[in-house]
């Protein structure tokens, strides 16, 4: 008989039941990525391999997007390596192509036939063709691979023909940026520099004669006519001679020119850091600095010229204090050398100088004098520099002027050569600078002890002088023909000085209470008109030459004009002029940091303004947002 405890026990069914299939306990495998149809339908996906069960049942195409699978780290790492390898290959073949194009440019007769034979020996295999070219032209190989190349180019593997430094730099940089700035364009392949020079004696950064010729041509086309601190003809003549002891050309000067010209170039070799647009020319600038340290402050004509150009370069980088320091070093060397009147050098010493040295020194002295005066004005400093000892007539040699043609050619196949008018432009800049010095004398010295009425009377006189200066410039060439940039610059620079002059007047203490409202309105109207004139001349420039090679000295006037128009954008004509200036500043901001900072400053004001943004500004911001994304 069962106890009461037994009543609570479960009854066990008699005999064994049917055996069930054994299934080990395991976690359900979670698919690391669903297919695209399942994601769209928001349903559970069984994952790879395709097709998944849902797609198989629905008889639909099953597609997996590898880029969406964030957990496949190994695959992502492999993709990154593949991109780096592709970038590497592009860089390698681009350099081989540069060798081939360079040899085709210079080869004639038997040498050209020999080159074609080398290409045909590859039997269609690109690696073999590349190896044959590098074996046949070892000197060109060294030029195309300046960072370091293997001792033996006979190995048929294209992998081994790359330097370890190249491989390391490719791996450490963003692949997309590297590919973008390593691309060789048709225009670059067809590019024939206006000026041909050899670089071996002048820079340690590159041994590519074509690249250096390209940069020298760019500099003497766009920057030099507006900022003449170098005698173009003497510089080129002595650079071609290759004598580093020359009084008219030095490694420091060449590298400072190459650094400045790199701002305009999209050649991959001008980038100090691949993909970084603001690193263009950085390695040339560092080489110039290295040369300057080696000079230990020695006064020479080329050192003065190089320091002036390096000062301008630093200003474009947004380093105003360093820029001023370099310019004052150039001024000090000029005083030590005796090219300014306040120095201890006696006039008789210059009377005995060779004519070539006298011509070049006069041009440099007046060029530095202009730079120092205008930079002082913009930074609210006293110029503190006497006029050059050598007269303007002494800068004119037997070949004082040269021909000018835009380089590189933009859209048209042919541009007629015209006189560059370099002596005329320099003389007119001296005339304008004399007025600038009088403006400095008034506002940075005498105005502190003058009443506002007397200040206004002198401002009116200075304004009349600037108007007379504009009247003296040849308008017919600008209206009827194709104006060369340096002639447009004379107009643009004068209108910037007008803006600065009237702005200094409005900044005087108690101006609003001392001057009647009609006078203040007159001043503001003249400022707006000057800014609109700058926009008109820049619009004319853009129609003829485009934006990419706008001289960097136009940045200052464009910025002054844009800041002047900012408070008046509710006026339709003012807004249109502002849009032109913004377009140029946007282009400059892709070349040097100072323009990027100016653009940000202006946009910050616009963003807080109740007025709607101009269409050009909106389009520019949208383009930048899309580029960043």
pLDDT at 434: 95
Averaged pLDDT for residues 462-469? 96
At 60, the pLDDT band (50, 70, 90 cuts) reads: confident
Averaged pLDDT for residues 374-392? 87
Q: For residue 549, give the nearest of 171, 220, 246, 290 by alpha carbon.
A: 220
Which range of 28-37, 367-376, 505-514 scores highest in mean pLDDT? It is: 367-376
At 592, the pLDDT band (50, 70, 90 cuts) reads: very high
CB of 486 closer than 8 Å to CB of 406? no
pLDDT at 150: 34
- How many Å apart are CA 285 and CA 328, to the nearest integer? 18
- 3-state secondary structure string across 308-377: HHHHHHHHHCCCHHHHHHHHHHHHHHHHHHCCECCCCCCHHHHHCCCHHHHHHHHHHHHHHHHHHHHHHH
pLDDT at 432: 97
Cα 45–Cα 48–Cα 54 angle in degrees, nearest 5: 35
Cα dihedral angle (486, 489, 491, 493), rounded to 10 degrees? Answer: -140
Return the minimum-mean-pLDDT range out of 7-11, 70-74, 235-239, 601-605.
7-11
pLDDT at 215 over 70: yes
Each residue of 411-434: pLDDT tens digit? 555 677 888 999 999 999 999 999
pLDDT at 478: 58
Report helix, strand or coil for 403: strand
Each residue of 318-372: pLDDT tens digit? 999 999 999 999 999 999 888 887 645 555 566 678 888 888 999 999 999 999 9
More confident residue, 620 or 15: 620
The answer for 192, left when phi > 0, alpha when psi is -120 to 50, beta otherwise, is beta
At 123, the pLDDT band (50, 70, 90 cuts) reads: low
At 147, the pLDDT band (50, 70, 90 cuts) reads: very low
Per-residue b or e along 310-323, where b marks 16 or more CB atoms closer than 10 Å to that residue's CB: bbbbbbbbbbeeeb
Mode of pairing for the β-strands spanning 418-419 and 403-404 = antiparallel
pLDDT at 6: 45
pLDDT at 82 over 80: no
- How many Å apart are CA 480 and CA 483, to the nearest integer? 9
pLDDT at 31: 52
Each residue of 151-188: pLDDT tens digit? 333 333 333 333 333 333 333 333 333 344 445 555 56
């Amino acid at each position: 008989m069962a106890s009461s405890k037994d009543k609570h026990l479960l009854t066990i069914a008699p005999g064994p039941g049917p055996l069930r299939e054994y299934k080990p306990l395991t976690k359900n495998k979670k698919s690391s990525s669903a297919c695209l149809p399942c994601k769209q339908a928001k349903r559970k996906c069984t994952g790879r391999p395709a097709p998944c069960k849902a797609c198989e049942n629905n008889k639909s195409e099953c597609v997996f997007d590898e880029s969406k699978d964030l957990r496949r780290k190994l695959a992502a790492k492999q993709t990154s390596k593949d991109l780096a390898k592709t970038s590497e290959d592009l860089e390698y073949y681009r350099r081989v192509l540069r060798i081939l194009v360079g040899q085709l440019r210079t080869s004639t007769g038997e040498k050209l036939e020999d080159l074609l034979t080398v290409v045909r020996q590859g039997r269609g295999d690109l690696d073999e063709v590349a190896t044959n070219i590098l074996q046949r032209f070892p000197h060109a190989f060294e030029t195309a691979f300046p960072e370091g190349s293997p001792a033996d180019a006979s190995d048929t593997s294209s992998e081994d023909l790359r330097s370890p430094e190249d491989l390391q730099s490719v791996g450490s940089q963003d692949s997309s940026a590297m590919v973008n700035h390593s691309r060789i364009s048709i225009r670059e392949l067809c590019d024939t520099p206006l000026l041909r020079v050899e670089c071996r004696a002048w820079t340690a950064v590159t041994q590519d004669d074509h690249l250096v010729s390209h940069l020298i041509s760019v500099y003497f086309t766009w920057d030099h006519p507006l900022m003449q601190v170098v005698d173009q003809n003497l510089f080129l003549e002595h650079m071609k001679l290759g004598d580093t002891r020359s009084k008219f050309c030095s490694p420091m000067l060449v590298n400072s020119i190459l650094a400045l010209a790199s701002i305009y170039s999209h050649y991959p070799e001008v980038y100090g850091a691949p993909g970084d647009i603001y690193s263009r020319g950085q390695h040339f600038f560092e080489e110039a600095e290295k040369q300057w340290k080696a000079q230990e402050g020695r006064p020479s004509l080329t050192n003065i010229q190089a320091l002036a150009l390096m000062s301008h370069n630093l200003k474009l980088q947004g380093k105003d204090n360093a820029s001023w320091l370099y310019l004052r070093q150039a001024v000090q060397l000029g005083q030590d050398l005796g090219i300014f009147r306040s120095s201890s050098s006696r006039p008789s010493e210059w009377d005995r100088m060779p004519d070539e040295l006298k011509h070049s020194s006069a041009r440099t002295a007046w060029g530095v004098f202009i730079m120092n005066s205008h930079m002082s004005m913009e930074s609210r400093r006293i110029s503190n520099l006497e006029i050059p000892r050598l007269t303007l007539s002494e800068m004119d040699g037997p070949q004082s002027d040269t021909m000018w043609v835009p380089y590189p050619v933009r859209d048209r196949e042919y541009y007629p050569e015209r006189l560059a008018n370099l002596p005329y432009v320099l003389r007119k800049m001296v005339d304008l600078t004399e007025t600038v010095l009088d403006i400095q004398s008034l506002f940075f010295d005498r105005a502190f002890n003058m009443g506002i009425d007397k200040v206004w009377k002198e401002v009116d006189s200075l304004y009349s002088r600037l108007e007379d200066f504009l009247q003296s410039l040849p308008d017919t060439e600008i209206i009827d023909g194709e104006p060369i940039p340096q002639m447009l610059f004379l107009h643009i620079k004068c209108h910037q000085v007008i803006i600065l002059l009237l702005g200094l007047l409005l900044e005087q203490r108690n101006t609003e209470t001392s001057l009647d409202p009609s006078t203040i309105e007159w001043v503001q109207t003249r400022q707006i008109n000057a800014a609109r004139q700058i926009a008109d001349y820049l619009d004319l420039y853009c129609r003829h030459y485009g934006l990419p090679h706008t001289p960097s000295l136009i940045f200052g006037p464009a910025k002054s004009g844009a800041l002047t128009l900012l408070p008046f954008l509710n006026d339709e004509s003012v807004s249109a002029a502002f849009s032109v200036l913004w377009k140029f500043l946007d282009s400059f901001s892709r070349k040097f940091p100072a323009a990027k900072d100016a653009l940000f400053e202006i946009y910050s004001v616009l963003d807080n303004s109740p007025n709607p943004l101009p269409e050009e500004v909106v389009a520019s911001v949208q383009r930048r947002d899309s580029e960043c994304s």
